[in-house]
Structure 1
């Protein structure tokens, strides 16, 4: 496998409880090797014709491209938002041993 099979998925959540549920399930089900939960985020966004501002929690999920579809389904099943943030970002480099760990942890 090459580095291009590794990705970082971003997903915001309304609070630590939802973020923790998604993170734990993702790792337990081997859809992500690691999920960082970053509290204290303020999001300003346009939704249904209005500018909104909310406190949120950011998830940073390390996984492989082969896991992203199932990871998305899992996140949606636990997420209260109509349209949660879901961005898949290619990883173009990193420590070979760390990248191998992501691969082996998500099989």
Structure 2
């Protein structure tokens, strides 16, 4: 099968591509079209979803952005539905460290042996 595919690819004068590349492309395009990972696993005939996720599927940048935007939309919609005002948590400043003076031990210095 691989030899026949390679021959047809060469005769078509298209850039060289492997059968594996077609599987990888099909997995990515299926995900971009909205298919879930379990569906892609079934499409590729894998017995393990881990194999599908680790080997064939790379996250497309647009897919990652769409996912982040959908998550933000869910949070904002939930806040609007409950009438809850969203606010960012206050950043706490780290405590100021006192300079160590000679002859004086603080909790920042170790006792001399």
Normalised to the residue count of structure 2, the TM-score between the two structures is 0.27
Normalised to the residue count of structure 1, the TM-score between the two structures is 0.29
> For the pair shown, which has the larger CA radius of gyration, 1 or 2?
2
Could you say which structure has the higher strand fraction?
Answer: 1
Kindly indicate whether structure 1 or structure 2 has the higher relative contact order, using CA contacts under 8 Å at least 6 residues apart.
1
Could you say which structure has the higher helix fraction?
Answer: 2
